[in-house]
Structure 1
Amino acid sequence: MRDRIDDEITFRKLEVLLAFMETGNLSKAAEALDVSSVSVHRALHSLEKGVRCSLFRLEGRNLKSTDAAQTLAEVANEVLTLMSDGIRATREAAGYSSDRLRIGSLYSLTIRTVPGIVVDIKVRRPTLQVELVLGSNAELLDKLKQGAIDAALMALPEAEPEIESIPLFEDDIFFAAPAGSPYAKQEAIDLKDCRDETFVSLGDGFVTYRGFLEAFRVADFTPHVTMRVGDIFSLMNLVSGGVGYTLLPGRVRGVFGDKVQFVPLKPQYLMRQTIGVSFLRARERDPNLLALMAVCRLRTRSGD
């Protein structure tokens, strides 16, 4: 059984000890802690009482640390670091974080949606560090469940009891063709007319790829896909280079100027994505997530 720790020994007094050991005198330690020199002296004296041995000696009018004080300071540093990490882990387990927000996002949302949200949330919480993690819908959902990200800007996932989502906007899917393509001049595309064409697409896990497959299921044929890529900008490069056609969400329209033409699909192929922010219900009271939700709701109401 471990020895009981005297009530005189507290985390605050250990912080005072470390400040004194780092600065070397009472005045500088008091200045660093924003307290009086008398308070520092009392805290150090109280520690001596708590450990029941001398930690300091007087040399003239100066207080000098002993080897015992150095030993206690080394332990105090470890204890305070461990406790700080423990408090942070406890807050995270309870759904709270403090100085950073890890936001997952689809690549396509980095054009407009993500920058706007980051700017708005930094206005609300200027000291918050925002980290951005990019991936497919499936990757972001997995990271969210594992706690690798705090929230995800993506197509709303299917209903799950552990996930809460706030819709931001809806986005239609278009037929994407390179400039100069005969399809680029059509008012609307019937995918059945594209049976013999070559296509490129995103890979599994992307919500746009899911819509791609569904559209061709309605068209009742399997498209000839020559290449799959892992992000939407590479996909648009392939389209602009004439490698193949594809289906793209309207939010990326204009990124490549007139090199990629977005043509509406016939009504029977209409595909619409609902984009929103998702997070774990267990963390819905996290102050950072509350700020993010507030920003997202304001953007939804303003139609931005």
Structure 2
Amino acid sequence: MIDEEITLKKLEIFLAFMRLGSLARVSEEVGQSVVSVHRALHSLEEGLRCQLFAREGRKLTAQPAAFALATHAQRAVNEAEEGIRKVREIAGFNSGRLRIGSLYSLTLRCIPHLLMGLKLRRTELHVDLTLGSNKDLLQGLADGRLDAVVIGLQAPSDDGRLIAVPLFEDEVRLAAPLGSPYAGARQVDLRQLRHEQWITLGAGFVTSDSFNHAFRQAGFAPETAMQVGDIFSLINLVGSGMGYSLLPARVAEYSARIELIPLAAPYASHQVISLLMLKSRERDPNLLALAAESRMFDNARDKR
């Protein structure tokens, strides 16, 4: 059993001394008197029942046992801090940092709007933004590497572990270079483009899922000239005349070199852009603020 004299606070003081090598400097760092620091180190030795330091007057010299303890003590303190952080998150006590994941295509208007509103609500909050595909972001949320994600869904989430807050609905359209044979059309029938070449996003992106869904409705497999890993490269390749693609309407402002043309009704596809967060975290004040800002974004679009 661990002796009652061995506490995390004493281990923190011990680690500070091993790092700074001075009782006075440790005293300043931990906000305790030199006498209290010295007493903590001595009682730690008593609890361990072995000598950690050799004493030469007021000077303490670390012994081999102290260096051995330092490695394990640092792990113990780190694990305790991480455990406390996770327990506070589960219990709804917020931290000063929020890790948000988003699709690349939402960084023009949606994400900046959410982040600015969130910072007004919680000025002390630091935000880490991670960009990626639906698949990667959802995995990050499940693994605890992300606190919330803003992604596109083709259907409402049926995962009982998640809370979804819809922001807006987006229409998937034909992305064509300017001056294409389909320029200015009110809508296009995908079957008319059976012999065209196509550029797609890699698997895991909601736009890739929308692409596959539309062509299943059209009843043929498109001739894919290239597959890319980000939506900006895809937009540039389409604008250069390398091929056609299907993209959400929200990307229109990313390039003046492409035209987004509505699809005929049988191939119509929509994405619901939604904030997703774990139900176990629904009381977290930071996430409550983000959810409130997301609902305001939805309401603001409805009034336009």
- Structure 1 length normalisation: TM-score? 0.79
1:84 aligns to what?
A: 78
Alignment gaps of 5+ in structure 2: none
Contact 2:176 2:244 in 1 (8 A): yes
How many residue pairs were aligned? Answer: 295
State yes or no: 1:227 paired with 2:221: no
Secondary structure, counterpart of 1:184 in structure 2: coil
Contact 1:165 1:277 in 2 (8 A): yes
2:128 aligns to what?
A: 130
Secondary structure, counterpart of 2:112 in structure 1: helix
Q: Deviations over 1:113-167 (max 9, x none)?
A: 23333444455264635141412x2343344334444332211364122332221
- Relative distance call for 1:225 and 1:25 in structure 2 (3 A) is closer
State yes or no: 1:206 paired with 2:201: no
Secondary structure, counterpart of 1:226 in structure 2: strand
Q: Distance in 2 between matches of 1:89 and 1:14?
A: 17
Contact 1:138 1:206 in 2 (8 A): yes
Q: Computing the radius of gyration over CA atoms, which structure comes out larger, 1 or 2?
A: 1
Secondary structure, counterpart of 1:30 in structure 2: helix
Contact 2:101 2:146 in 1 (8 A): yes
Amino acid corresponding to residue 300 of structure 1 in structure 2: D
1:272 to 270, 273, 277: 270
Q: Deviations over 1:183-229 (max 9, x none)?
A: 12222323343344333322333322332233334444443333332
Equivalent positions of 1:1-304 (< 5 A) are 4-51=1-48, 55=53, 57=55, 59=57, 63-68=58-63, 71-72=65-66, 74-76=68-70, 78-89=72-83, 91-92=85-86, 96=90, 98=95, 100-121=97-118, 124=122, 126=124, 128=126, 130-135=128-133, 137-156=134-153, 158-257=157-256, 259-286=257-284, 288-303=286-301
Mean Cα displacement is larger for which, 270-279 or 85-94? 85-94
* Percent identity of paired positions between Structure 1 and Structure 2: 43
Give 1:288 deviation, angstroms: 4.8
- Relative distance call for 1:208 and 1:21 in structure 2 (3 A) is closer
- Relative distance call for 1:182 and 1:294 in structure 2 (3 A) is same
Q: Distance in 1 between matches of 2:228 and 2:179?
A: 23
Q: Distance in 2 between matches of 1:146 and 1:270?
A: 34
